[in-house]
Each structure stands twice: as structure tokens, then as C-alpha cells.
Amino acid sequence: MMIDTWFGDPESPNLGFLHLPDDRRAVGGVVICAPLGYDQVLGYRALRFVGQELAARGVAALRFDYVGEGDAAGQSGSAHSPELWMSSIARAAAYLREAGVENIALLSLGAGALIANEAALTVDATALALWDPELSGRRFLRRQRSLFELTVGDHGGPNDPNALLSLTLHPEAAAWLRAREVTADALPVGIDTLIVGRRANDESPATLALRSTLPARAEYRSVTGQEELLEAPSSLAVLPEETIAGMADWLRERFPAASVPLTPTVTDRAVVGEAPDGTPVVERLLRVGPDELFVIETSREGDTDSGVVVLQPGAAEHRVGPGRFQVLAARELAERGYRTIRFDRRVTGDTTEVRPGEPSLLFTEEWVDDTDQLVAGLGLTADVAHAGLCAGGWVAARMAERRAARLTVLFSPNYFKTAALRAGEYSVLTQEERNGTRRFSGLKRRVRGILPGWAWPVLSKLQLFHDPAVLLEASTRRESSTVALLLTPHDRENFEAHRGPDAVARLQGKGADIRVTNYPFGDHSLFGEDVRAAMLGDLLALVEETLPRAAAVTAGSRA
């Protein structure tokens, strides 16, 4: 059983997911402390599986977002971020205790260890589990910065050394992290502690020093499989089932045998901001359709008559987006008088229970079905926009085959076929690409360069080649529909290689309203802060041009 709820300070609420045994009785509770940055995205489903495994053992578990991160309220990059991280853990522990839990343990992943290790004593924890911990804040920041430079490169990323993948840090917060270490001396005194580290790090100086001086109540376990979880594309991630089961068993042993009944408070609405006229911006938690898609609806308080923007997640990742792109977009659009939806499709985030070995559904018909289910379940009208990054853009464009959309926005699109893949097929193709064993890819590139103009659209309709016209045609078929493609340099090269400009010209010649914006900077995944800001600005302008605002906002503008 899992309960979606806001908790904590109503002025800056946290979003949480409470895993409970089916009988709503528990022997104890575990606060699950997420890692920082992109590790939080990669490890999201794994931490949900941790919650499931704990609940199956009679333990309540609470996953949550720190204030200023993920879906929680607040702005990223605050000088007070460390204080907000620590207070978020304290709020989570307090929430469990108010529900009836007597004994609390903390479990962290990655850089979450640097926070949880310090918070354990302040929340009077019974036990502490550090999973694949970052032992040094300094090394964490150095590694994350290297990953940022490798990923964003010279695509216009900021020169700020504190710019990391999906993590914005104020210099003071970076200094706080830099000063944190997990050592034998730094472990909380008097608390049972389990450290689960990578076997690949067994011979590192930090690990050797830690293991050689562990206090009596601390245990170190060396495991494999973390690289497959946190260093692979999200579509190729492998769940380390044995490691998770071992941690769940260890935590269960730290709690008493007898269980107690729990009565958690459930709050499905929270104020997360304020419009310029003082109207609260609120977010509601919803479950929609037979698959119970997890949905967050953002709007001004009381507004029900505005245009709606559906934000499609990218890749196999949950609804937050790089650098909280979708969270910030949703709240900014709500301030301007629009209703916004962000959600998790099946086998992502908080929709559908985690099942080991579950297949990737990238570019599959199931995800188009999910969006159709969402639109139908919420009763959305024709004043709808769909906007998505990469695979999310593909889903947005495919939705035009089924239901009218006033606006379709494709961020960094790179897949232009309408033929869907089979479940799990994208993972196979990606692995073949990484291994250099993809069949016919070189031949297709050579043929693509010499095909005559008349043959290109013919073969593309047979799904032999990517022709953007095939994907965009349905999106532009209806009158008064606008389609916008926002292309970073790499995506522009791919678009031009597949004769995208010719496709756009053909459709525009038939009266289609297609806009193409080429950015001279930016990375495909939008990890660079500057390209995110530019695309957010263009999204806001497109929505304001094409969708109606809430009547109250329109009346206020006239006044």
C-alpha cells in the first residue's frame, strides 16, 4: 500500500510517499533520504522498491523530496539548502511519529548519506543505513562537476563550478557539502549503522580507512551492481534486488517484534506559490484511470476555466525533469493563469508498483495510451497543449492522432517515426548502439545521404527512415493547431540529417503552423541551465499566444 501526501510546514510543504503494510500496522518506520542531483532521478524507482520491500516486512517507509528539490515547495539553489535538507528529514521523522510509529531509522542513497549521517542523532534514530554512500562531499562535488562538463561540454553550460547535473547549489551550500565526510569518527555514536558500499571501491583509501576503524555497532558490506543502477541510462538500469532485500532485512531486525496501528494524516492539496495578484498557487495530488497514473495538477486557487498544459516526462524518468524544469514550468504557468498537469506514465516514478525486470516502455504505444487515459480521465477539452522532452515530445506528437491539441511543443526531438516500439525494445536497441552491434545502421546512414527527394517521403511512410513530416503531419492536421520544435545544436544536426527543414516546408505549404527554434547552445537533455531558461521562456510565450488564461487573470489584465 502506498499513500501520496504533502506533509511538513504548510508554508513550504514536502511531497511524500508513505509505504505501509496492508494491515496498516508497523513495527517501525524508515525515513528514506534521497541522493542529490541526477542520482536522485536514476535511483528513483529503486528507492520506491526499497519502500515496497520494507512494507512487505511490516515496516512503514516514507520517501520524500527535500524542500527546494524535486516536487517539494521552495526554490533550488538557496544558501540555506543544507538547513532545508536537514529539516526535511526531521519533518519526515515527525510525520511518521505522528502517525503512530515509535522507532525511526534512516536509509540514504549516494550523497544522501552526507545529510542522513548528520541528521541521525537529531531525529533520535534507532538505526542508520547508508547505501552506496558518498564518503566525501568534496569528492562528490568534484565527480559531479566532471560529469556535468562531460555531458554538457561546450554547449553553453554556465561556468559556475557549482553547476551540476540536475542540481543547483549556492556557493554556501557547496561549501557545506565540501566539508562533510562519512568516516568512522563521524558516524553517529550509539546508533546501529549499516554501510553498503561498492565492491569496486573496496581498495580506495577512504573505504580502507573507514572499514579499519569502524565502531562496534557499525557494519560494512561490500556489494556489486551499483554501477548498473546509477551509471547506466535510465532505460538500462538494473535493480539490485539482493542488495535491497539485505538492507530491508537488516532494518527489520532493528525494530521490535510487535506492531502498532498507524493513522497517518493524508493531505492531497498544498500551496506552493503565489500569483502576482496574491492568489495562491496550489497543487493537487490525483490518481487517474485504471492504471492509477500519478498526477500533480497545478493552478491558481479557484481557476477551472483556463487552458491546460500537459507536461510529458522525458525518457524513463519521473515527472520532475532536468533541473526541476517541469516543476518550475508548471508553477510559472499557473501564476500566469494556466492549469498544468505533470504525471508519471506506467513503469516510471510513482505510477505502477516496481516489478524487478520490468521492461522499458520508451516509444511504445502504452505511453500514448497512458496520456490518452489521462486526458479522458481529467475531461480535458480542446484548449490543451502537450509539451515534452525527447521521448516525451514523441508522445505529445502522437497524441494528436487521437485528440485535438491547440499546441504541441517538442523539446529536443530526435525520433520521428510513428511506428511504436515493443515493450523493452528500446533498451535492446540502446545496448546494441553502445556495443556497436546495431544492424544496418551504417548502411542506412549511407543510403540516407543519396536518396532522391521524391523517394524520401515514400520510404519514410513505410517507417524505413525518420522523416519529421510523418510525425508532425497528425499534429498539424487540425485547424488552429500550432506545433513548435525547440532544437539544441545536436538535435538540429539530427533534424537536418533527416531532411527536417524540407519536411517543415512541405507541411507549411499545406497551411500548417509549424515553428522551429534553433538554439546556438544547449545540450540534448537540458542539463545546461541556460538552455532550460531559454526553452522555458519560449514555452511560456507559446502558451500565452495559443491558450486562454483563467477568466480572473484576463479580467485583472483588462483592469
* Alpha-carbon span 160 to 297, nearest angstrom: 33
Q: CA dihedral in degrees (370, 373, 377, 379; nearest 10)?
A: 110
* Alpha-carbon span 265 to 250, nearest angstrom: 28
What is the 8-class DSSP label of residue 305? Answer: S
* Alpha-carbon span 325 to 341, nearest angstrom: 13
- Sign (positive or negative) of CA dihedral 29, 34, 40, 41: positive
What is the 8-class DSSP label of residue 348? Answer: B
At 551, the pLDDT band (50, 70, 90 cuts) reads confident
The alpha helices in 222-304, defined as continuous H runs, are 226-230, 241-253
Closest to 132 in 3D by CA, of 154, 110, 111 = 110
At 477, the pLDDT band (50, 70, 90 cuts) reads confident
The position carrying cell 548502411 is 443
CA Rg, the chain, in Å?
24
Q: How many CB atoms lie within 10 A of CB 490?
A: 15
For the ranges 246-255, 469-478, 547-556, the maximum mean pLDDT occurs at 246-255
Cell of residue 330, nine digits: 508548471
Of the listed ranges 1-5, 394-398, 446-450, 542-546, the least confidently predicted one is 446-450
Amino acid present at 63: R
At 559, the pLDDT band (50, 70, 90 cuts) reads very low
Q: How far is C-alpha 257 from the geometric centre of its chain's CA atoms?
A: 36
How much is the average pLDDT of 142-163?
80
* Alpha-carbon span 259 to 58, nearest angstrom: 8
How much is the average pLDDT of 412-438?
82
The alpha helices in 186-240, defined as continuous H runs, are 205-212, 226-230
Closest to 425 in 3D by CA, of 372, 495, 367, 492 = 367
273-299: string of b/e by CB count within 10 Å (b at 16+)? bebeeebebbbebbebbebebbbbbbb
Q: First-to-last CA distance in the chain?
A: 49
The angle at the Cα of 43, spanning 409 to 131, to the nearest 5 degrees, equals: 160
Coil, helix or strand at residue 64: strand
Strands 60-64 and 14-19: antiparallel
Cell of residue 304, nine digits: 477551472
The alpha helices in 4-104, defined as continuous H runs, are 38-42, 44-56, 81-99
* Alpha-carbon span 127 to 19, nearest angstrom: 18
How much is the average pLDDT of 490-508?
93
Closest to 91 in 3D by CA, of 172, 7, 33, 149 = 7
Q: How many CB atoms lie within 10 A of CB 83?
A: 13
At 96, the pLDDT band (50, 70, 90 cuts) reads very high
* pLDDT tens digits along 58-91: 999 999 999 999 999 999 999 999 999 999 999 9
pLDDT above 80 (res 446):
no
pLDDT above 70 (res 172):
yes
* Alpha-carbon span 307 to 319, nearest angstrom: 20
pTM of the model: 0.94
* Alpha-carbon span 259 to 26, nearest angstrom: 5
Cell of residue 68, nine digits: 527546494
* Alpha-carbon span 425 to 235, nearest angstrom: 10
At 453, the pLDDT band (50, 70, 90 cuts) reads low
Closest to 17 in 3D by CA, of 378, 351, 359 = 351
Coil, helix or strand at residue 370: helix
Percent of the chain with pLDDT over 90: 80
Question: Please, what are the domains in the chain?
Answer: 2-135+184-261 (3.40.50.1820), 270-425+466-544 (3.40.50.1820)
Cell of residue 136, nine digits: 566525501
What is the 8-class DSSP label of residue 85? Answer: H
> What number of CA atoms fall less than 13 Å from residue 108's CA on the CB side?
30
* pLDDT tens digits along 232-280: 877 788 999 999 999 999 999 999 999 999 999 999 999 999 999 999 9
Using CA atoms, how far residue 133 sits from 114, 117, 175, 241, 317, in Å, is 8, 10, 19, 18, 22
Coil, helix or strand at residue 287: strand
**Which class for 159: exposed (0-12), middle (13-18), buried (19 or more C-beta within 10 A)?**
exposed
* Alpha-carbon span 475 to 409, nearest angstrom: 10
Nearby residues of 489 by Cβ (< 8 Å), 6 or more positions away: 155, 518, 519, 520, 521, 522
Stretch (H or E) spanning 483: strand 482-487
Closest to 70 in 3D by CA, of 36, 19, 116, 119 = 36
pLDDT above 60 (res 403):
yes
